[in-house]
Amino acid sequence: MDKLINTTSSSAHALTKRESKFSWQQIKKTLGKAYAFFYGNPPAIIGGLLLSIVLAGAIFAPVLATHNPEKRVARPHQPPSAEHYLGTTRSGRDVYSQVLYGARKSLSVAISAGVIAMSLAVIVGVSSGYFGGKIDDRLNFLTNVFLVFPQLPLLIVLAAFLGQVGSLVITILLGVTSWPWGARVIRAQTMAIRSKEFIISAEVMGESKIRIILVEILPNLVSIVFGGFLGTVIYAMGSEAGLGILGLGDATEVSWGSMLYWAQTSSSLYTGAWWEMLVPAMALAITGGALALINMSIDQVSNPKLRTGPHIKLWHQLKKEADKRRGLR
């Protein structure tokens, strides 16, 4: 009996050891991929650093904020000081605390809208590109209908019709109206992949269509989907701020758009309180620029024609040496 217990415990110990070794190998592999992505890729490094700062400010806003962003804490339009790092608004609220909490609201709206839009784009684009026939015709017609209507004017009309809308409604509106461009790109790429040998082999072997889409096609669309997601997030963030400036959003919520709305309403630039307008505008510009740099870095990694970094430098060096040898001959 003791021998059986010892054998069982040793087997469990060996299994645990193998599992821990496997998990460590997975972590090491993931870190290696992340290092390979950032190494020799300046846009990824700069964009990742800026985006990390913005996300850290949004996540740790309750810890970093010095005042309640929704309450009056000082005199109106007080300039930046040791007590109020970025000054105060016309209503006496702390701008530094507002920009931290505003990042939470603006980024949550933009990211959620990006997830909705790219989910619809993947479903429509892959289905249209892979199945073809009547499905392609109907989905392509639906995509063209959405493409006919200009997105921002349509959003303004819908938001004005619904009245002063909250962040949830803005998220849904942005997500539902932002998918057609991504669907067109994914459809074209899916049609190109559909004729590849490994897809034909999977079909001949009797693989189900769902498995072919999930296992064979979607992994080859990761860079396109992620790039489209970042582009949609940038667009959604700008659109949310634009609706906020026009007063079509919920002005009682603390977001970068509502901050710009109140700064415009109080004529902060004309009264000399430039910080009330400049701070949320700079936050939008920095976040949008960081996302654009990351999107650019993805293109440079996934597209061989745009590839940069040490590997391309090595290629140029080898090409230069080969040209010299040809000249000597």
pLDDT bucket at 234, cuts 50 / 70 / 90: very high
Does residue 20 belong to any structural domain of this protein? no
Percent with pLDDT over 70 in the chain:
80
In whole angstroms, give the CA distance from residue 267 to residue 176.
34
Burial class from Cβ neighbours inside 10 Å (0-12, 13-18, 19+) for residue 98 reads buried
Containing 4, the helix (H) or strand (E) segment is helix 2-38
Does residue 12 belong to any structural domain of this protein? no
Proportion of the chain in helix, strand, coil states, percent, rounded to 5: 80, 0, 20
What amino acid occupies position 298?
A: I
pLDDT computed for residue 110 by the predictor? 93
Least confident of 15-29, 54-68, 144-158, 264-278: 15-29
**Cα 260 → chain centroid:** 22
pLDDT computed for residue 5 by the predictor? 47
Task: Say if residue 190's pLDDT is above 80.
Answer: yes
For helices 133-148 and 180-194, angle between their N-to-C axes, nearest 10 degrees: 150
In whole angstroms, give the CA distance from residue 229 to residue 202.
29
CB 174, CB 155: distance < 8 Å: yes
178: domain CATH number is 1.10.3720.10
Domain range for 298 is 34-325
The residue-averaged pLDDT of 76-97 equals: 90
CA dihedral 220, 304, 115, 25 (to 10 degrees): 70
The residue-averaged pLDDT of 192-201 equals: 86
Neighbour count for residue 241 (Cβ, 10 Å): 27
Task: Say if residue 11's pLDDT is above 90.
Answer: no
56-82: per-residue pLDDT in tens? Answer: 999 999 999 988 898 888 888 888 988
Least confident of 34-43, 108-117, 121-130, 276-285: 34-43
Does residue 15 belong to any structural domain of this protein? no
CA dihedral 223, 225, 231, 232 (to 10 degrees): -160
Does residue 80 belong to any structural domain of this protein? yes
CB 104, CB 61: distance < 8 Å: yes
Task: Say if residue 12's pLDDT is above 60.
Answer: no
pLDDT computed for residue 290 by the predictor? 93
pLDDT bucket at 220, cuts 50 / 70 / 90: confident
DSSP one-letter string for 190-227? HHHHHTSHHHHHHHHTT--HHHIIIIIIGGGGHHHHHH
In whole angstroms, give the CA distance from residue 24 to residue 85.
43
Does residue 110 belong to any structural domain of this protein? yes
Structure tokens at 300: 């440079």
pLDDT computed for residue 256 by the predictor? 92
Structure tokens at 270: 């004309």
CB 13, CB 23: distance < 8 Å: no
Least confident of 54-63, 172-181, 292-301: 292-301
Structure tokens at 143: 């995509």
Does residue 82 belong to any structural domain of this protein? yes
Look at the chain and report how many structural domains it folds into: 1
3-state secondary structure of 126: helix
Structure tokens at 64: 């970093």
pLDDT computed for residue 34 by the predictor? 61
Does residue 90 belong to any structural domain of this protein? yes
Does residue 157 belong to any structural domain of this protein? yes
Task: Say if residue 4's pLDDT is above 50.
Answer: no
